[in-house]
Amino acid sequence: MCGIVGIVQNDFSRPVEKQSLNDMIESLRHRGPDDSGSVVVQGVGLGMRRLSIIDVQGGQQPFTTEDGAVHLVANGEIYNFKELRAELISAGHQFRSHSDIEVLVHAYEQWNESFLQRVQGMFALALWDRRNETLICARDRAGEKPLYYTRTANAFLFASELKALFVRSDVGREIDMEALDQFLTYEYVMAPRTILKGIHKLPPAHYLRYRKGDMSVKRYWNANQVQVKSWNDKNAATAVRETLGRAVSRQMMSDVPYGAFLSGGIDSSAIVALMAQEAHKNNMGVNTFSMGFKDGSYNELAYAREVAESFGTNHREGIVDPQIGDLFHKLISHLDEPFADVSLFPTYLVSQSAREHVKVVLSGDGGDELFGGYDTYEADRMARGLALRVPKGALSALANLTSIVPPSSKKKGLINKLKRFMSGLVDGPDDLQHYRWMTFLSADRKRELYSPDFQDRLRNSDVYKPVRECLGSMDTDDLLNRQLYTDLSLYLADDILVKVDRMSMATSLETRAPFLDVEVMELAFSMPGHLKLRGKQRKYVLKKAFEDVLPSSVLTRPKEGFSIPLKNWLRSELAPLMDELLSSEQILRRGWFAPDVVKRAVTAHKDGRQNNAHLLFSLMVLERWAQEYIDGA
């Protein structure tokens, strides 16, 4: 696990300034506190920070081919490196280490750009081939590891995080207003956009080729190309358990202590069960880590504890304190661009707890997007049924009635569920399907909130276009699989995995996700939707696969999600911070929003008449981010 950076000059006669490269490298120290490395050749510089996991002593980067023609830096882990290494050695390649990353430079030398299709792992990589003066950058299939890039007047730059680009004075800070609209709609910015014009994210499963000023971006893998097969329940469940078991076994490779995040839900519990089984073969134990809340409706520690006791793990747990004002400032700084998924707080804290004991953890990320875990899929199914029976005008009237009912302080509950269902039903375009319940700011509210200038700059944009394109990109009539593909491509890649990467890396902890092993992803998309959502039972085949292993409480309880009592905290402990960041003076100074609309939203939330937590937290994040990265530039 590392952070990588690079500079390719437009004019190769212009040398790379080593201090500039070193400043970029140093900005990523949190991603790799153990080691650093760089190489500078004519007009090109590559650098990295390293968190030593495999071949701790001998795995220093950059790696170079035997003839010195290709240099490589990479972030992540290659889980099939032993098989690739053996094949490459038999083809005559010579290795200087036992690092998993070294196989990449030799694999490129052997198979050129097609080597990416052979690699199983999570990674962001960059290699310079001086023979044809070409830079190749690539990201793993799911997007577990990040990569940003930009062009300046004199160079092409890339880095694992935006902060490494920000150290350069020639990188601009102009806000992309369409990206800002995306953030306020979804609470994150979708690749290839970033919040800033001219800086881009390389999408998952893509590689970038840059040569003499010409750049192309191509996809090398796509889940929507997987052919659906005919499965019966028993064979499907067996395949899930065996394939996920192999993925867990591969991802437990480590020369340093490891553990697992455990929420008590089926995804993380299945991972822990398989880890315990694998560890038992070597007479080893498993470390597990959980985070909870004092608010009972948000606290899931009892379920995690039951799973830990079932498998005899070394279990540690903590409580998220509502006094998170100082943590808010710290984490917004780590995120680099606006991001408003409130589960970033417990993710950081559980990572911090785990890092005190281990360097690597496995997580259950990806299970929901592969096997149908979200309630949005059921909501869309219900909405389709209602549309056939109830006139749209009647639904709008019902939505207006539910909107005036005060929200409950509980995490979900019947009132909150009904209010959320009805708002998604009438506020979002029908063709967004389940994504109607994954947006947080309707067109009507934007017309009130956005300043005239902001609205004018969005005149020709369509914030829903990425969702529509994903939903329409699969050649299948399997509605659920289209929705799962969309969540894998957008929500998982640009929300969940961003959160996990930044928050774990902020504590110098490596996270791995066995569900995102390529074999598991391809297996999941080879299965029809009815194996994942059957009636009202979500993750049907995954539960079937572990029904004889996991406690019944894990298999039968509804999904809760890793959220926090933010709506309650904004009325109490976090209210002063909200008032400070969203004062009318601050809102007016930015010029993006109507101060009176923001003030009314704050007042209505404090009074308990409305739950405006999503909007208010997004605005708080945006203001704090602007103070850090725009005002402080």
Catalytic sites, residue numbers: 2
Asked if 85 and 542 touch (Cβ cutoff 8 Å), the reply is no
Token pair for 242: 């065996």
Helix axes 325-335, 344-355, angle to 10 degrees: 90
Q: Residue 340 phi/psi, 5° resolution? A: -125, 25
The torsion angles phi and psi of 538, rounded to 5 degrees, stand at -85, 160
Which residues lie below 8 Å from residue 78, measured CB to CB, with a gap of 6+?
84, 100, 101, 103, 104, 119, 120, 121, 123
In the block, residue with structure tokens 């010409």: 214
Q: 116: left (phi > 0), else alpha (psi -120 to 50), else beta?
A: alpha
Provide the residue type at 407 as one letter.
P
Is residue 147 within 8 A of residue 76, CB to CB? The reply is no
Give, as one character, the DSSP assignment of residue 117: G
C-alpha 49/C-alpha 333 separation (Å) is 19
State how far the Cα of 119 lies from the Cα of 105, in Å rounded to an integer. 12
Do 8 and 135 meet the contact criterion of CB atoms below 8 Å apart? yes
Q: How far is CA 531 from CA 19, 170, 278, in A?
A: 55, 52, 27
Put residue 283 in one of left, alpha, beta given phi > 0 → left and psi -120 to 50 → alpha: left
294 with 284: CB under 8 angstroms? no
DSSP secondary structure letters along 78-94: ETTHHHHHHHHHHTT--
8 A C-beta contact, residue 137 and residue 94: no
Alpha helices in 42-176 (DSSP H): 81-90, 102-111, 162-166
Amino acid type, 15: P
DSSP run (H or E) holding 38: strand 35-41
- For 228-249, give the secondary structure using H, E and C: CCCCCHHHHHHHHHHHHHHHHH
Nearest Cα to Cα of residue 336 among 623, 614, 621, 629: 629
Distance in angstroms between the alpha carbons of the first and the last residue of the chain: 29
Instruction: In whole angstroms, give the CA distance from residue 482 to residue 266.
Output: 23
Distance CA 274, CA 260 (A): 11
CA 42 to chain centre: 36
Kind and range of the H or E run holding 2: strand 2-9
Q: What does DSSP assign to residue 175?
A: B
Q: What is the dihedral of CA 570, 571, 574, 576, to 10 degrees?
A: 120
CA atoms within 13 A on the CB side of 598: 25
**How many residues comprise the chain?**
633
Structure tokens at 108: 């490129």
Q: Which of 365, 263, 345 is nearest to 304 (CA)?
A: 263
